[in-house]
Structure 1
Amino acid sequence: MNGSEIFKINTQSEFDAQALKVFRHQYRTNTVYQEFCSYLGKSDANVDEVSAIPFLPISFFKSKEIISGDKHPETIFTSSGTTGSNTSKHFVNRLSLYEESFRHAFELFYGKVEDFCVLALLPSYLEREGSSLIYMVDDMIKQSQHPDSGFYLNDLNGLRNKLIQLDTNGQKILLIGVSFALLDMVETNTLKLKNTVIMETGGMKGRRKELIREELHSILKEGFGVPVVHSEYGMTELLSQGYSKGNGVFETPPWMKILIRDTEDPLAYQDHKKTGGINVIDLANIDSCAFIATQDLGKTYENGTFEVLGRFDHSDVRGCNLMVL
């Protein structure tokens, strides 16, 4: 599959058709996924609707090579982890698919990246190799073509001065940062920004006590002087992102969809507004697995938006013992 057709999806019926097409391709060419589906009694012969497609537990990316088709990765994205812990590995055969996915999605939600000066405060990601987030933000910095776009590691004063200068001059700014670093910045600086989008990527990465979203966003809004804080929902195992423009309510691009599974029965789904495990369909994941059961908790709404409410306490969630090969 060349993959370009997924970025032309406009309707639910087109999404469903492409999802089933990708499922059949991955069932036939991904040995790990085929074995998992067969264990559940599912195959390309008896799955004829999206709700019947099996979702691979995200933990498989830590122990298996999840590849559809031949293995010829252009890169391997890896997750962060504590010393000695297993990390996820996402074998990416075509970086062009990832680039088209995040470029197209950003433009759908925010317009052309060339209109922004992109500033990145992602120390925990910069300090290691293999981060898909760093790859995406680095590309956005280059695509913006703004002379002041760039990464900031520990120079919070330099970042503060640059923000004030650019914002005062009316320049549109995207400041994308990991939560603990954004908090570090507002602890020593209080700003009043008018032309800046503050986008947090989540996670304290062991540097600070975890905060609930409302508390985190309240501190950041006051510190940066902005009315809302935006968020990005992505992960090593995906090639697409969801975006929130405030209040923690996320939207997805047309080739990505969120379903909520029952925490008591991982093969059943919850209705809208009911909390459960987040299952992600990411059709950009053509060369790995497009159907992933994450360890996040959330809920969806009738208009296709969703919220992330937390994570399961342990990876061996009830029912997931049925999902180990």
Structure 2
Amino acid sequence: MKEQVFNIQSEEEFIKVALQVFKHQFTNNKVYRSFCDLLYVHPSDVTSIEQIPFLPIEFFKTKKILSSTDKVQETFSSSGTTGSITSKHLVTDLSWYEESYLNGFKHFYGNIEEYVVLALLPNYLERKGSSLVYMANDLIKKSKQAESGFYLDNLDELTKKLIDLDRKGQKILLIGVSFALLDLIEKHTFNLKNTIIMETGGMKGRRKELVRHELHAILSKGFGVKKIHSEYGMTELLSQGYSKGNGIFNCPPWMRFLTRDTEDSLTILPKEKSGGINVIDLANYNSCSFIATQDLGKIHTDNSFEIIGRFDNSDIRGCNLMVL
């Protein structure tokens, strides 16, 4: 199945494989099966991806979401405030994750070996179980560049390296959490020509939250670049969407985004209508590929998407199945 997922070439192939994955997870994932049963949905009645039930993402906080009986190789966990319940993604086969982010990077950016990868992810490095750190660490290794590496608080060293490498014409990917990128440009103003600045979102309580266009305007000026790139990922997913600017994201061929009605979570909206974000991530073959997130967004006719906010808990309606 892995070969089928990562070689999807058309919408027809995506739908065919998604329906196969749904059938597999309905059969092998006890939590997801119970959820589908409560909705009276059976694979024999499902002929389109819009009819597939999307499991509320909150289930990853309280249930073991598994479609495999294999031993768990890695448990990825979300960051959370002290005392809060964090999401846990149980991964039985890390090769699914590795193929997903490596193929995804290649799809959008080309050969990883052309880049020096610099990761500015202090808060993620300070805890265990971060899927982002796992991905960044592997991208650093796969780049085969001696200059690639992680940075925590050594911003002066990072500044010198960025300027020196960029001046030499080296392609650079600087991937960082928003507050750390802001810390960097407060210490130094750049004029970079060969560097991709990719923010992974989140102030993590370190700074006041900014709307994306405001954050990107500050970062663009500080780094001297025209566009700020973004990565859309989360603990519960094994694939990422990427934006090359203006907050417009695209996803790899094995991933798809839909919007649901905020008043009726079982109703899928047409494109260009804002609603709750549902994600199909076929790389989640051994957990659950059909997830209703807490993000709000809009899907465009070309399948690109925007994230426009998040639900408050009080806004989540139409899902009284959380007692499962």
Q: TM-score range by the shorter chain?
A: over 0.9
Residues 26-35 or 270-279, more deviating: 270-279
What does 1:1-325 correspond to in 2, within 5 Å? 2-314=1-313, 317-325=316-324
User: Which blocks of at least 5 consecutive residues in structure 1 are unaligned?
Assistant: none
Q: Tell whether the 8 Å contact from 1:78 to 1:131 is kept in structure 2 after alignment.
A: yes
- Letter of the 2:42 partner, please give it: S
Cα deviation code 1:110-138 (max 9, x no counterpart)? 00000000000000100000000000000
Distance, in Å, in 1 between the alignment partners of 2:151 and 2:196 is 16
Q: How many residues align?
A: 324
Distance, in Å, in 1 between the alignment partners of 2:314 and 2:186 is 34
Give me the TM-score of the superposition, normalised by structure 1: 0.98
Give me the TM-score of the superposition, normalised by structure 2: 0.98
Quick one: percent identity of the two aligned structures? 61
SS of aligned partner of 1:18: helix
- Letter of the 1:253 partner, please give it: P
Q: Tell whether the 8 Å contact from 2:262 to 2:315 is kept in structure 1 after alignment.
A: no
SS of aligned partner of 2:6: helix
Q: How many angstroms does 1:323 deviate by?
A: 4.4
SS of aligned partner of 1:320: coil
Distance, in Å, in 2 between the alignment partners of 1:136 and 1:315 is 33
SS of aligned partner of 1:321: coil
Distance, in Å, in 1 between the alignment partners of 2:299 and 2:73 is 34
Distance, in Å, in 1 between the alignment partners of 2:278 and 2:103 is 22
Q: How many angstroms does 1:315 deviate by?
A: 6.8
Q: How many angstroms does 1:322 deviate by?
A: 3.8
Q: How many angstroms does 1:71 deviate by?
A: 4.3
Q: Tell whether the 8 Å contact from 1:77 to 1:130 is kept in structure 2 after alignment.
A: yes
Q: Tell whether the 8 Å contact from 2:68 to 2:92 is kept in structure 1 after alignment.
A: no
SS of aligned partner of 2:82: coil
Residues 306-315 or 10-19, more deviating: 306-315
SS of aligned partner of 1:66: coil
User: Which blocks of at least 5 consecutive residues in structure 2 are unaligned?
Assistant: none
**Change in 2 beyond 3 A, CA 1:316/1:75:** farther
Q: How many angstroms does 1:4 deviate by?
A: 2.1
Q: Tell whether the 8 Å contact from 1:36 to 1:323 is kept in structure 2 after alignment.
A: no
Distance, in Å, in 2 between the alignment partners of 1:141 and 1:188 is 25
Distance, in Å, in 1 between the alignment partners of 2:321 and 2:138 is 40
- Letter of the 2:239 partner, please give it: S
Distance, in Å, in 2 between the alignment partners of 1:284 and 1:205 is 27
Stretches of 4+ moved more than 2 A in 1?
320-324
Distance, in Å, in 2 between the alignment partners of 1:232 and 1:20 is 27
- Letter of the 1:288 partner, please give it: S
